[in-house]
């Protein structure tokens, strides 16, 4: 992959260190887009991991059956 590819780590397993780094970036107020660039992962991967580790809510959980929030 070229070094500027934001998905260079896209299929790399998340480590405890990665999750700690993600938590630190998120808690410092960085945007999902910035975190994705820094960590070389997609914004979707960042969002999914933030949900998994409990830092953000999964919007799907809060949707009504008709798709509204």
Mean pLDDT of 19-29: 97
Count the neighbouring beta carbons within 10 Å of the beta carbon of residue 39: 20
Which two tokens mark 19? 């999750």
Q: What is the pLDDT of residue 58?
A: 78
* pTM, to two decimals: 0.74
């Amino acid at each position: 992959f070229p070094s500027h590819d934001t998905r260079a780590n896209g299929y790399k397993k998340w480590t405890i260190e990665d999750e700690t780094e993600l938590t630190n970036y998120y808690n410092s107020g960085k945007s999902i887009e910035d975190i994705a660039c820094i960590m070389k992962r997609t914004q979707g991967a960042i969002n999914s991991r933030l949900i998994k580790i409990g830092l953000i809510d999964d919007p799907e959980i809060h949707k009504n059956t008709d798709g509204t929030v």
